[in-house]
Structure 1
Amino acid sequence: MIDVEYQKYVKAISTQIPEERIFTDTLHRLAYGTDGGFYRLEPQVVVRVANEKEMQLCLREASSRKLPVTFKAAGTSLSGQTISDSILLMASDGWEDYEVLEEGQKIRLQPGIIGAKVNTILAPYGRKFGPDPASINSAMVGGIIINNASGMNCGTHENAYQTIESAKIIFADGTLLDTADADSRESFRRTRPGFIEKIEEIRDRVRADEAFAARIRKKYSIKNTTGFSINPFVDYDDPFQIIINLMIGSEGALAFISEVVMRSVPNYPCKASSMVYFPDIMTACRATVALKEGPVDGAELLDRLALKSVENEKGIPDFIKQFDETTTAVLLETMALDDDTLAENIAQIKNILDDFTTLRPVEFTSDPAENAQLWNIRKGVFPAVGGMREIGTTCLIEDVAYHMDTLAEATKELQDIVAEYGYTDAVIYGHALEGNFHFILNQDFSDPKEVERYEKMMHAVIEMTVDKYDGSLKAEHGTGRNMAPFVKKEWGEKGYELMREIKQLFDPDTILNPGVIINDDPECYLKNFKPLPQCDPIIDKCIECGFCEVNCMSNNFSLTARQRIVIQREITRLKKSGKNPERLAELEKGFIFEGDESCAGDGLCQTSCPVSIDTGKYIKQIRAANRSKLSKKIGKFTGDHLDLVCSSASLALGVVGGMHSLLGTKNFGKICDTARSVSGNRIPQWTPAMPKGASAPKATPINAHAEKKVVYFPACITRSMGPAKDDPVNDSVTEVTIRVLKKAGYGIIFPEGMKNLCCGTPWESKGFIETADMKSSELEKALLIASEQGKYPVLCDTSPCLYRMRKVMDSKLELYEPIEFVHKFLLDKLDFTPKKETVAIHQTCSTKKMGIAALLKDVASMCAEKVVLPPDVNCCGFAGDKGFHIPDLNAHGLRKAVPVIKQEGPVAGYSNSRTCEIGCTSELGIPYMSIMYLVDEVTTGKN
């Protein structure tokens, strides 16, 4: 039960915010209250705020009650900026609006849009978002700006501070200021008397103190996010521009930014990268200092342990494993407008490096795929090191910067200090071109002696960084909680008091993110550590960075992959401790739907997880553990009698389809809805897209004497489900696939006992792992016989089935799903006459995980003049049969595709999974069918 004052707060905001977006239960408070850092607080109230008016309401009501508030977007922050023990306001889903301005020179953004999407939007204009943090594929604009997150190329010249144009700012009392609007500025002057005058007074006072002003300029000549950004007072005259730039790096402790206009920066079309290996870290740093004067856009240092953390990753050469303990790499990038200039840049860089010892010849690559691979390796260092930690320890990342004239000495001393205190597995890496390094520690906070060791090491680093090298204690990750006690140490009395003055001006009741940046507790950085107990080998490597959430389709519907792990870890901890059984019972009960039943299990979270955790696999494991003996027997029975199950399903679908045709969509829909309601939603949701029945093809070989042969395995789903009543086709997927293969001149072989064969996916998704493996083993044996031990390729007409087959079956089998088979084997055997209508496509999770999603668009583009692929759609949410039981999950998965389909007006959609096609048809309002229908419609055989 939350405190009385928070209950009153909830009642007040509930007048305008739906209750389903306000959370006071234990499960959601814990799940949403977790971020990527190593601290944890549990909020009293979590609100998913949808717009400016709601945010103003939330702040007004909190301000009137003097209740603390913290803001959160993606929650990838590393220093404790987005955790709260009070009110947590989420600004992600719904805050994704944008507008490209001045032909891409500027862009208007809301805070919930992911940084990488901004780059996608600006790419056609040859521009990009200035800040480029390693987390850009997951981090959101609001967090990037409010933390002044920079990254590998933007340095201090293209970060948010330098590229922000205007902002909409909501203050602690709910006042909204639009700095781009003259009326809003005038209103602010009138309603907040003395505020602008105070900004101007501070500006003039700081500038009058020449020594202090010079000190500020020097401190910000390198990356610095320690404390509030006080440099606007020396950089800008306009008080409103000063307010805008004070917000940069303020970590939500001054106000909330609801919208910004940012200047974009050039995105050079020609790029080349090289991993250069030096004998030691000092040589690497000295070479980087020299390269600073050359045409280098990025230089990322990786010490030997950083290299070791990624040396087994794809794209990393084997010779790295032979390097000695002092070897240090620097990943270089140079950019240009044309290839000739790029070649000149490379030559100049090599000439500079001739003065330094390198362990291997310096070679650059301009291949986009190879470039991306190199930089993805760099981005994955932090999570990879975290994944290597001893289970139960916490992964910390610290963030310092030094001036270039002392870079080599400071970096070597940093390395020595970390080693001196026994952190033998600590990694140093980062943005060498900006003198900005991160060091990663795997720390045990459960042992007081280990905490004391950490404390002593941190004090040594702080004293060396500040007293000896006048560097930054926080370069780009923000002050947060873990460096708040040392802001005064870095800035001195005058700088620190100025920051307190700013805080008092913006937030006089100190309700905004208290404890962050300004914190009077000298030991706050040693408190509220996040527990990471051993839970299960599948998820124990998780460091809760949140990179998975961008691909988790249940994000903002139920729990995300990260949040599922958070809850399961807490359940495990409570079970081991034997304490707080009420909390344990509440979490276990809430997890049934929020964590288990609403998980699509698609595994897309794994594709953006730096340590490749498949949370869907873990959830399936939980389902398996929860299956009763009776349910397992039923599962095995269905596996043993699949022919009966499929024929029964086909018959039932035929009856349902007949009733649909007889009664009409409206009347039959009412009957089905009533039946589902009376059953307590146990009866599956009926939809007009529900298919009619189908039957398996005869197992007799077709074109047996053809020179080219293929083994065709129709999935059980296509053997049971035909087209829907309103689909513009009559034939089943199997009939159409056979027709396309015959056009291409293929002989078709069917596996023996086909009607009882299955890949096992339906059982795997429900936790019947033994039955799933039994079915896949049966299928594998049949396919090996049919293909003559891999002599002929195998085609399965359903992508998710093919994905599982590839995971579990013999490597001798050449396994293909429809788009890959068409692309690889049929393009030269068929003549394509593209249809003039616009068509849509849906890329299934399985094609994405297999890395062949782009082929769907390639094939569709050969078949139609215009192909629509709605952006920002991951899993459709139908997830096998979940769309029949949890239709809202399906609607959530496709919510961003709806306006695109309405605007583009395609006549039909195509994919490669029958159930996904049902889900797309239901939610998007046009018929979705197998891509084989489209190929069949527009092709003729060459012979």
Structure 2
Amino acid sequence: MDTKTASEQVTLYTDEQTRRLYATDASSYQELPEAVAYPKNTQDIIDLIQYARANNTPVTARGAGTSLAGQTTGNGIIMDIGRKMNRIVNIDARKQTAHVQPGVIRDTLNREAAAHSLLFGPDTATTSRCMIGGMIGNNSCGLFSIKHKTTREHVLEIDAVLSDGSRATFKPLSEEELQQKMELDSLEGDIYRQMVSLIRDHKEKILANYPHPEVIRRNTGYALDRLCEMEPFTEGGRPFNLAELLCGSEGTLAVTASAKLNLVQRDPHSILLTPQFSSIRAAMEATVEAVKMDPAAVELIDDIILDATKNNIEQKKNRFFLEGEPKAVLIIQFDGDDPNQLRAKAQELGDRLKTLGLSSSSPVITDPEKIDRVWELRKAGLGLLMGLGAEGRTPTFCEDTAVRVPDLPDYVDDFQRILDKHDSKCVFYAHASVGELHLRPVINLKKEKEIEKMKVMAGEIADLVRKYRGSLSGEHGDGRTRAPYIEKVLGSEMMPLLKQVKQIWDPQNLLNPGKIVDPKPMEADLRYSPSYRPPEVNTTFNWRREEGFADAVELCNGAGVCRKLADSGGTMCPSYMATKREKDSTRGRANLFRQLFSGRQAEAFQSEELRDALDLCLSCKACKSECPANVDMARMKAEFMQGWHEENGISLHERFFGQAGTLYPLASLFPKLSNWMLKQPVVKELLQQWIGIDKRRDLPAFATETFMDWFSNRSNTNRPTSNAEAGRSVVLLIDIFTNYHDPDIGKAAVQFLEATGHRVIVPEIHELGRPQLSKGMVDHAKQVLDQSLPVLTNYAEQGYPIIGLEPSELLTLRDEYLDLCDDDQLPAAQQVAEQSVTFEEFVASTLQTNSPPGTSNKVYIHGHCHAKALIGNTAVEDALQAAGYETEILQTGCCGMAGSFGYEENHYEVSMDIGELTLFPALRKLPDDALICAPGFSCRHQINDGVDRKAVHPAELVAKSLTT
């Protein structure tokens, strides 16, 4: 990796991979930086800024990179403060304050604060990964801004590094303290002297031109109007505090090194009202009524977002509160101490909306788990929008406007007239309670005419905002997108003042230049533009859902959900959770895919930097469901590795794991000898050197009798009689792991199936291509498909259920086969997919009407990643409950083994680190005699290696229930 040193402590990474990873954020822009740095403390920030001054190189501070207006892209040094400066220094419960470094994730802070019944109020849709430094930079607000206002109201102090490398702490100052600051012979002193002079000279002009004071969320330009409200400019005003100016300054004035935050008490009870509307106008009129009743939040979701949730694996389960096909829905939350009062308030508002003829349906939700699910759907809105595909993209050029709440209905009508004028449609959603809607017209940036239309519309919308005395940006900031239109909103008199502020704080124009003042044209450096070249490559997968590989590599929108940590729940992205490196996130890998394939086309299949970024991808499939855009990185990795292999061949290591089925029959001839040899240190050492199997792992033992031998050798006296023979036939797929390592699981499955009246057919199919796919041997997987599909189709045509014991194997039929098959094979593949079920799904459906005697045992379930991503954990829970067990699903992510991944020498440490994120700690808390269920073969082995506990397959538990 190419590096250079900014000082003795700080390293600048200048290699192409790292620079590409930081070329984009969640906005429409892409700029290749000169270098990337990861400061670990305030001194590192100082050293970086001093280096930048000496070399006249811009510096852009960046947290999670979820900014939507291009604030965190730049062509100089990108300073990633989230990687190492992420410590909560302290939480003072008595004073209700928190002292944090800028890389602390908002949800992480709130998990710690929750122990004291406290929270940091601003609640953006990105709280699982957004960082306090970024929230300060954008003055973030979020869902509950009518209650908690903005980040600015909760920042008590900011310890900052100024543009000359000096330090300063900004906090409320008395008149005496302010005078002392103005007397300093330093850049800090200059800032105080000149800022006080600027406000004193221009106060009236500022207040006359800035957004209406009733607009809570106003981030247009620098917050000079806030300073005007303070002493000494307004008698009785707040103490002078430049920290309020830094909030929303987008890193253009100073760099936050740490911050002291105000925390607030949590309300003990919440309730939701979800009125549903036939028009956006009706929803806006309802908002005006709702805010009169002191809600904690009023959020709008329109039909475009609601429609997008229908096909999203993760979000379609959260649609439970919808009735019919509404044009719009409001999510209204009331918080307080008395749940009865909250219910009465919600009912009163619902009745009021019905009386006014605005909404005839206003469901009330009181269950905390269901309330969380509604908010999950709302928070997914942005990512869902950004994943609508090329024809449905909604660039963020005007999505952040805010007006007074009473003006919302008329403002929306005027906005719609602009849309109609330009023959455009728009998404309407978000923070209705404070007059801010995310209005996102559909624009295809790959077309020159569409870009011109965007620019014209941006100007007209800015004029509209000016008409209502609103804010061009309510929280997402000006950045590169809106900065060119600030003058239209604030007026030409304000622009010299904004430029003067930048000059006062940053005379050399080093800190994040081109944001807020002196921007490039909004169409410069677009990620997608008329000059963008989509990939034109031959692929082995057909990419049917995405309508081509080109669209697949463009799916990622930069929202960064894959950067959430394990404590936030879910599985995506396990390698990022363990390493905290951008290259190990789904977003990082997707960015490399897009940049490399759009530039080098088929040559990108030989990219060392992309191969390196994919190395720690476990192909867990979590991104396929948890990513709002449903990026399937497992499939993209397989496709890339197929292309890599075509040029470079397949290594011995990859063949060993990808074609284990060819080796297993030989090893199983002498199982005792094979098992003895695999435990010998010298053999382990050789396997590590030759094949890369980490010697700290024990390979699975071979059974003394394979399942297939047992099944074929059973005598008639051991077979069930008339009940099973007369029953409905089922096909049981026995994968190589069950056959050679865990035949007892197959036996248990047969026992259950026959006991419940089924004739069991076991075809000579032990592979469906999963090992080959995991190693990027996609052409080999296609050969497996060609051999297995006709056999399985024959069973499917007869209506036989096709049952699998290993989730990843069985789900290959319902996932990859539909994209791996040829067009003429697609009907057969679809028919097989429809008949294919996991063992747990079959049990759950069978025992609904055929329940055996139950047990009183409790079972703790660790779900399989592929199953969680594609079908969820419900089937396992339902099957075991139907068999009489009490169940608890463990809140665990990926186990870290992921097939062969955890056995490999270069992955062992990461594999165990992933296990330690959630799985191992959860298992250690269980009673010693706890029953642990894990449907996945590799999961069970990781559990054994990680915590020395035995986990069993659901088939074993279900079969056991038959005899208890």
Q: Using structure 2 for the length normalisation, give the TM-score.
A: 0.77
Match of 2:272 in 1: 272
> Does the CA contact (< 8 Å) of 2:720 and 2:754 recur in 1?
no
* Distance 1:833-1:287 versus aligned 2 partners, 3 A rule: closer
Could you say what secondary structure the match of 2:509 adopts? coil
Maintained 8 Å contact 2:863/2:873: no
Query: 1:550-569 maps to which residues of 2 (within 5 A)?
Result: 550=564, 551-555=572-576, 556=581, 558-569=583-594
Measure, in 1, the Cα distance between the counterparts of 2:183 and 2:791.
76
One of 913, 938, 943 as aligned partner of 1:915: 938
Asked if 1:719 is matched to 2:739, the reply is yes
> Structure 2 matches for 1:332-351, cutoff 5 A?
332-351=332-351
Q: Within 5 A, what are the aligned runs for 1:343-422?
A: 343-358=343-358, 360-368=360-368, 370-391=370-391, 395-398=395-398, 399-422=400-423
Residue 235 (structure 2) aligns with: none
Distance 1:628 1:601 in 2: 20
Q: What is the one-letter code of the residue matched to 2:736? A: C
Q: Identify if the C-alpha distance between structure 1 residues 764 and 778 changes in structure 2 by more than 3 Å, giving closer, same or farther.
A: farther
Q: Structure 2: how far apart are the matches of 1:34 and 1:276?
A: 37
Residues 526-545 of structure 1 mapped to structure 2, 5 A cutoff: 526-531=523-528, 533-535=533-535, 536=549, 537-545=551-559
Q: 1:504 to 1:650 in 2, by over 3 A?
A: farther
1:153 aligns with 2:171: no
| 1:98-247 equivalences in 2 (<5 Å) | 98=88, 100-102=91-93, 105-122=96-113, 126-155=117-146, 157-176=148-167, 193=186, 195=188, 198-199=191-192, 202-203=195-196, 206=199, 211=204, 218-219=212-213, 221-230=215-224, 233-234=227-228, 242-247=241-246
Give how far 1:433 is off.
Answer: 1.4
Letter in 2 for 1:913: G
The equivalent of 1:35 in structure 2 is 25
One of 697, 703, 713 as aligned partner of 1:688: 697
8 Å contact 1:276–1:360 — kept in the other structure? Answer: yes
Q: Percent identity?
A: 18
How far apart, CA to CA, are the structure 2 residues paired with 1:696 and 1:240?
Answer: 79
Work out the CA distance in 2 between the residues paired with 1:452 and 1:898: 48
Question: 1:726 aligns to what?
Answer: none
- TM-aligned CA distance change 1:814 to 1:80, over 3 Å: closer
Q: Residues 856 and 885 of structure 2 are in contact (CA less than 8 Å); yes or no, is this contact kept in structure 1?
A: no
One-letter identity of the residue aligned with 1:704: P
On the 8 A contact 1:276/1:362 being kept in 2, the answer is yes
Amino acid at match of 1:30: R
- Give the Cα separation in 2 of the matches to 1:166 and 1:823: 62
| Structure 2 partner of 1:55 | 45
Asked if the contact 2:277/2:359 (under 8 Å) is kept, the reply is yes
Map of 1:927 onto structure 2: 948
Read off the aligned partner of 1:771 and give its amino acid letter: Q
> Aligned pair in 2 of structure 1 residues 319, 853: CA closer, same or farther (>3 Å)?
closer
1:704 to 711, 716, 720: 720
Alpha-carbon distance in 1 for matches of 2:878, 2:258: 34
- Whether contact under 8 Å (2:589, 2:610) holds in the other structure is no
- Deviations 1:761-803 (Å, cap 9, x if unpaired)? 1123232331343476478579879x9934xx9561x343344
TM-score (normalised: structure 1): 0.79
Are the counterparts in 1 of residues 396 and 481 from structure 2 also a CA contact under 8 Å?
Answer: no
Q: Is the 8 A contact 1:127 1:264 kept in 2?
A: yes
User: Does the 8 Å contact 2:252/2:511 carry over to 1?
Assistant: yes
Counterpart-to-counterpart distance in 1, 2:908 and 2:657? 27
Q: What is the alpha-carbon distance in structure 2 between the residues aligned to residue 865 and residue 180 of structure 1?
A: 55
Aligned residue type for 2:894: C
Give the Cα–Cα distance (whole angstroms) in 1 for the partners of residues 18 and 396 of structure 2.
Answer: 25
Q: Post-superposition shift, 1:340?
A: 1.2
* d(CA) in 2 for partners of 1:740, 1:781: 22
- SS of the aligned residue for 1:503 comes to helix
Q: Which runs of 5+ in 2 are unaligned?
A: 233-237, 536-548, 565-571, 818-831
8 Å contact from structure 1 (residues 163, 264) kept in 2: no
User: Which residue does the alignment assign to 2:838?
Assistant: 815
- Cα distance in 2 for partners of 1:344, 1:141 equals 36
What is residue 23 of structure 1 aligned with on the other side?
A: 13
Is 2:808 the counterpart of 1:800? yes
Whole-Å Cα distance in 2 between the matches of residues 299 and 340 of structure 1? Answer: 20
Cα 1:941–1:637 shift into 2, 3 Å? same
Match of 2:35 among 36, 45, 51: 45
Name the aligned partner's letter for residue 162 of structure 1: E
**Closer, same or farther: CA 374–269 of 1 in aligned 2, 3 Å:** same
Using the TM superposition, give the Cα deviation of residue 876 of structure 1 relative to its aligned residue in structure 2, in angstroms. 4.3
Alpha-carbon distance in 2 for matches of 1:270, 1:112: 30
Does structure 1 residue 518 correspond to structure 2 residue 517? yes
- Equivalent position to 1:894, from 913, 930, 942: 913
Amino acid at match of 1:275: P
Say which of 762, 770, 785 aligns to 1:773. 785
Amino acid at match of 2:340: D
2:598 & 2:634 partners in 1: Cα distance? 21
Which amino acid in 1 is paired with 2:900? Answer: D
Contact 1:596 1:623 in 2 (8 A): no
Deviations 1:869-905 (A, max 9, x none): 6x8x743444322334463375167258269958996
Selected match of 1:829 from 847, 851, 854: 854
Deviates more, 1:905-914 or 1:94-103: 905-914
Alignment of 1:435 with 2:457, yes or no, is no
RMSD of aligned residue pairs (Cα, Å): 5.1
Match of 1:580 in 2: none
Aligned to 2:867, the other structure's residue is in SS state helix
Residues 328/598 of structure 1: CA separation in 2 closer, same or farther (3 Å cut): closer
The 1-side partners of 2:594 and 2:412 are apart by 37
CA contact (8 A) 1:624 1:769 kept: no
Distance of 2:876 and 2:49 partners within structure 1: 48
Q: Does 1:850 align with 2:849?
A: no
User: Structure 1 residues 376, 548: CA separation in 2 closer, same or farther (over 3 Å shift)?
Assistant: same
| Alignment-derived partner of residue 291 in structure 2 | 292
Q: Deviations over 1:72-122 (max 9, x none)?
A: 222121101010111112233344433554189544544434434445555
Identify if the C-alpha distance between structure 1 residues 633 and 841 changes in structure 2 by more than 3 Å, giving closer, same or farther: closer
- Number of equivalenced pairs: 883
**Quick one: distance in 1 between partners of 2:240 and 2:803?**
64
| Equivalent pair of 1:299/1:432 in contact (CA under 8 Å) | yes
Partner SS state of residue 37, structure 2: strand
Query: Which whole-Å deviations, capped at 9, do the CAs of 1:313-342 have from their partners, x for residues lacking one?
Result: 63659998877xxx5543433344443122
328-337 or 927-936, which deviates more? 927-936
What is the alpha-carbon distance in structure 1 between the residues aligned to residue 393 and residue 740 of structure 2? 50
Deviation at 1:601, TM superposition (A): 2.1
Q: Secondary structure at the match of 2:50?
A: helix
Confirm or deny: 8 A CA contact 2:659 2:772 kept in the other structure: no
- Give distance in 2, aligned partners of 1:279 and 1:29: 45
Does residue 762 (structure 1) correspond to residue 771 (structure 2)? The answer is yes
Judge conservation of contact 1:29–1:46 (CA < 8 Å) in 2.
yes
Cα distance in 1 for partners of 2:147, 2:220 equals: 14
Q: Which string of whole-angstrom CA distances, capped at 9 and with x for unpartnered residues, describes residues 676-734 of structure 1?
A: 45x5xx5433323433333523114977369899987553224344xxxxxxxxxxx44
Segment drifting more, 352-361 vs 746-755 = 746-755
Q: 1:851 to 1:224 in 2, by over 3 A?
A: same
SS for the counterpart of 1:292 is helix
- The one-letter code of the counterpart of 2:461 is V
Post-superposition Cα deviations, 1:128-175, rounded to whole Å, max 9, x if no partner, equal 441222233443333233211222222373421122244443334444
Q: Does 1:881 align with 2:881?
A: no
Distance 1:711 1:322, change over 3 A: closer
**Partner Cα distance (1:942, 1:507) in 2:** 77
CA distance in 2, matches of 1:82, 1:852: 38
